[in-house]
Amino acid sequence: MQLGQAIRTRRSIGKVSENLPERELIEKILEAARWAPNHHMTQPWKYFVLTGDARTRLGEVMKEIKAESMTEDEKRDSTDRLEREAKKPLRAPVLIAAAVTPSDDPKVEEIEEVCAVAAGIQNALLMAHALGLGAIWRTGKPTYHPRMKQFFGLKERDTLLGFLYIGYPAIQPKERPRSSLEEKVEWWDQ
């Protein structure tokens, strides 16, 4: 697949089959992420690959985080809601949690570290697409909760940027409109 085609045809695939992709394919995705650009070559990324029961353990953490924000009455009346939360990581056979582990070097800007990991995530999504896999980058409030940092053993300054849900596509994604270049680009020559 040509790069331009991969960029234009990659879509978030939120529904994948239960078939576990081969480890070699996941390693290719992680290898693509590793080649993201980053200032000062700090390589501030940390990836966690979750399969099998590891996804269930993550689901329990997601359920605990959700329960924290609910009243006792809501918990009693919403056991289904909490169980749905616990099952979210089971929507794909492979999850890759992507974290930023910023450098302590004072000349390094933390935002640049975040951008480097985000660039790695985009590389990973493009590689998954090129390999015929479906993937979606999921985030949300639980992603940034201290309990999630604890689950992954992240330090205080580290930040989880989200989860890549990966598997073999079970749907054909819809074409979604994009704004024109004229709406988003200004050309300055003076």
Feature table: binding site? 10-12, 39, 137-139
Size of the chain in residues:
190
Please give the structure tokens belonging to residue 18.
């239960």
b/e 69-83 (16+ beta carbons within 10 angstroms → b):
eeeeeeeeebeeebe
CA distances from 106 to 102, 103, 110, 130, 151 (A): 11, 8, 9, 38, 28
Binding residues for FMN, by number, are 10-12, 39, 137-139
Inter-CA distances, 112 with 2, 71, 72, 100, 106, Å: 28, 39, 41, 10, 13
Helix (H) or strand (E) segment spanning residue 46: strand 45-50
Q: What is the DSSP letter of 92?
A: S
**Interatomic CA distance for residues 87 and 22, integer angstroms:** 23
2: three-class secondary structure by DSSP: coil
Whole-number Å distance between alpha carbons of 124 and 120: 6
